[in-house]
Amino acid sequence: MISRHDCGARDLDDPLAPLRQQFDLPQGVIYLDGNSLGARPKAALARAQHVITAEWGTDLIRSWNTAGWFDLPKRLGDRLAPLLGAQTGEVVITDTTSVNLFKALAAALQMQASDPAHAGRRVIVSERSNFPTDLYMAQGLAAWLDRGYQLRLVDSPEELAQAIDTDCTVAMLTHVNYRTGYQHDMAAISSHCHAQGALALWDLAHSAGAVPLDLNGAGADLAVGCTYKYLNGGPGSPAFIWVPEKHQARFRQPLSGWWGHATPFAMDPGFAPADGIARALCGTQPIVSLALVECGLEIFAQTSMEAIRRKSLALTDLFIALVEQRCASHPLGLVTPREHARRGSQVSFTHPHGYAVMQALIARGVIGDYREPAIMRFGFTPLYTSFADVWDAVEILRDILDTLAYDIAAKRDAVT
């Protein structure tokens, strides 16, 4: 049996433990929702103060050059690139994940449509369990293009290989499922896509900063993701889009705004896309929110995704083991894969009263979240979650479940 003492000992041995000091975590809270909104890097406050007082307040319009605002989407993209297995000049931080997905899917459909071998394909493959906004954006794009594109949604990862066939033009998949924490094999699926003549477009919302990624090594074609979850960029911080060098010359997207123009200050009335990744940009970005993304990335620069992954698996393994040991009498169902290679950095359990249990957890300072149907979701962020946190969270969960079971039994006794 694992003890709290064992957990404390693991914290003492944890090379990532000192990084927790770089985050502002509220007293009395065990925060297991970094997969929804990452915690605040302490540095974000001073950074915002600087951007607001010195860059905006004092230097005003000159900051587009002197503070590097104009280069910010690319400069931050280059800082993020190593975490994705991307090269310098392949990533920009801009717009929202939804908008970037629209650009990437539109570009992928266009690349296929301009290739005589694949021009007739009209099937976009995804999962019914994909994050809904991804499906909404694909529906919106397909309806507006009005060229017969249709979504083919599978109900389980096992059906993907068959669904991605020679009718499929693009497979649009979220690498780690937001609800279950299931992680796809990006290299195997991308490779299968290519064998069938399809392109592989990946949403990394629950992967970036959570699991090691090797976009170029895996042969992925395009990717998007968000910076406000595991990357700790701040609430709603701008998202990213990855266009690999191999596809940049062919990458065209309909949101052709000034920031993606080849000569944005020539004020030419005709659009001509910039060379390289800048063509994925569109309009003026929210500089304060964008600048704060760097504070999260600076913490990642002090460690490696391999070290983060080791601790992530240790935390999620520990959570599963403790829940199964200490809450064994309760009707919990593990949703997240036990297999390491198929697991992201979260653990989800079902419980018939999942919503009420999660509300009780939050009231006692253990912040996870709830997703239909009956799923309690717990995110583990190795940069600021300790092994003792895991113990304490499970203790509170056990206490809540024991009380709930007692109350249900008492109610049943009162009725009978």
235 is a contact residue toward a copy of itself (CB under 8 A) = yes
258 is annotated as contributing to ligand binding: yes
Tell me the window of 40-48, 210-218, 338-346, 407-415 that interacts with a copy of itself (CB under 8 A): 40-48
Hunting for tokens 């690999």 — which residue is that? 244
Residue 284 per-residue DSSP state: -
Nearest distance, CB of residue 257 and a copy of itself, angstroms? 4
With CB under 8 A as the contact rule, which of the stretches 141-149, 208-216, 298-306, 384-392 interacts with a copy of itself? 141-149
Name which of 18 and 283 has its Cβ closer to a copy of itself: 283
- Residue 174 annotated as part of some ligand binding site: yes
Q: Does 255 contact a copy of itself by CB under 8 A?
A: yes
Q: Which of 290, 315, 318, 366 binds a copy of itself (CB under 8 A)?
A: 290
User: Residues 344-365, buried b or exposed e (16+ Cβ, 10 A)?
Assistant: bbbbbbebebbbebbebbeebe
Q: Build a one-symbol-per-residue string for 78-97: x at contacts with a copy of itself by CB under 8 A, - elsewhere.
A: -----------------xxx
**268 is annotated as an active-site residue:** no
> Is 102 labeled as ligand-binding?
no
Count of positions on this chain that bind a copy of itself (CB under 8 A): 85
Among 217, 283, 331, 352, binds a copy of itself (CB under 8 A): 283
Using rule CB under 8 A, residue 256 touches a copy of itself: yes
Min dist CB 71 to a copy of itself, Å, is 14
Q: Return phi, psi of residue 350, to 5°.
A: -90, 150
Which of 94/190 has CB closer to a copy of itself? 94
228 is catalytic: yes
Burial of residue 12 (number of CB atoms within 10 Å: 0-12, 13-18, 19+): exposed
Select which of 47, 79, 377, 398 is catalytic. Answer: 377
Q: Does 47 qualify as catalytic in the annotation?
A: no
Positions annotated as catalytic residues are 131, 203, 228-229, 377
